[in-house]
Each structure stands twice: as structure tokens, then as C-alpha cells.
Amino acid sequence: MSRVNDLLQSIVGQECWGVHLAAASPQLLFGVSGGGTKVQGKESEFSLLIWCAWRLREGANIKVSSDTDFEGQLHTILEQLESQKVVEVELTEPTNDLRVVFDNNWCLEAFATFDSTWSLDNWQFSCPAGTFGATGSGAIEFE
């Protein structure tokens, strides 16, 4: 797991410059150098895509979650992460839950689900060294 933690730590200090939604699944983009996900004419160096249950909180106050009404303020609230820098990333073992803390004291938490029938990663992280994700079987797999 140390390689996974080392790669996740590479976004500490990076600014989130894009937040995109696929249904209620957020994708956060960090760094601009090329070779990654291309959005708005820029290519991200790092990308975090979350497919599992998640929430964004400020202290004990939940700002928005995967259960939030999509027609409501989901995207508006998530957009407030843009221009925020990552100050901490924590991967909890053995559950593979992920916590990303931003400099505005907001915290994005992803809660991995163990379901062998789940065909997508719970969350997926892309960086110059490759792409990996937390699978429904409870493993971290590299593509």
C-alpha cells in the first residue's frame, strides 16, 4: 500500500482546477501539465473520479453528498472546490475509504463498497505514473 499512498500524496499542494459530474459522481482535476484527462482545452496531471458513496463536509457540517438531489445545488457546491489546494490525503485500510482535505477546511470523503458484482472502481486516481482504483472486491488495482 505504500506505493498507493505515495502516489495519492502527489496531489498534496495541488490546486483543484476542475470539477465535473457524471450523474452524481464527481471528478476532480488537479495540476496542468499534459498527459492526463483533457477538459476545457487543458490536460490534468492528476484526476480523482468517485463512483461510490461520498460526501463533502466542512467540519461537522455536510455540504453535499452522493445522496443529494442532483437537480439541486450539487454542482454549485462542488464547484467551490475549484482553486482550493489539497492539504491532506488519507487512505484508510483495509476499507480503502479515501479522504481529501482542502485548504478551505472542506473534506471530501469516499466510502468504498465491497460488492464483487460492482464492475466499476469505487474511486479511481490517475497520475503520470498510471491509473489505479479501489475495486468492489476490496483490492487496489492498477490498470
The domain tally of the chain equals 1
Domain that holds residue 91: 2-142
Q: What is the mean pLDDT of the chain?
A: 85
Query: Closest by alpha carbon to 83, among 28, 143, 135?
Result: 28
The overall pTM is greater than 0.85: yes
CA separation, residue 70 to residues 27, 106, 108, 121, 132 (Å): 15, 20, 17, 21, 27
Please determine, for residue 34, whether its predicted confidence score (pLDDT) is greater than 50.
Answer: no
* Alpha-carbon dihedral sign for residues 128, 31, 55, 53: negative
At residue 6, the pLDDT reads 95
Could you tell me the pLDDT band of residue 138, with boundaries at 50, 70 and 90?
A: confident
- Confidence (pLDDT) at 40: 56
Q: What's the pLDDT tens digit per position in 58-96?
A: 999 999 888 877 556 777 888 889 899 999 999 999 999
